[in-house]
């Protein structure tokens, strides 16, 4: 049930939704980071849900500032524990 809700929510997400969510989590994405996160989630949310905290975000580290990378990594762990 939870995964179905997440899927339906992600399918309707906009870049503005991603931006606002990130800000709420104290992550200030620049334009390139925002575009990458938006496209990545839209195209890979199933893998993120399936792997949860075991998802290897390290291979995308060069897409973010170090500060944002660390925050996003912690965010993935935080929300994975809720699934």
Round to whole Å and give the CA distance between 41 and 10.
8
pLDDT for res 26: 97
pLDDT for res 49: 80
pLDDT in tens, 19-71: 999 999 999 999 999 999 999 989 988 888 888 778 899 999 999 999 999 99
pLDDT for res 1: 59
In order, the DSSP letters of the chain are: -HHHHHHHHHHT--HHHHHHHHHHTT----HHHHHHHHHHHHHHHHHHHHHGGG--GGGGGGGS-HHHHHHHHHHHHHHHTT-
Give Cβ neighbours of residue 65 (< 8 Å, ≥ 6 apart). Answer: 30, 33
pLDDT for res 48: 82
Round to whole Å and give the CA distance between 74 and 72.
5
pLDDT for res 68: 97
């Amino acid at each position: 049930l939870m995964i179905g809700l997440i899927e339906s929510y992600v399918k309707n997400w906009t870049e503005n939704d991603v931006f606002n969510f990130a800000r709420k989590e104290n992550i200030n994405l620049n334009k390139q980071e925002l575009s990458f996160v938006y496209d990545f989630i839209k195209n890979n949310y199933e893998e993120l849900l399936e792997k949860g905290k075991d998802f290897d975000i390290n291979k995308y580290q060069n897409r973010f500032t170090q500060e944002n990378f660390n925050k996003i990594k912690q965010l993935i762990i935080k929300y994975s524990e809720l699934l």
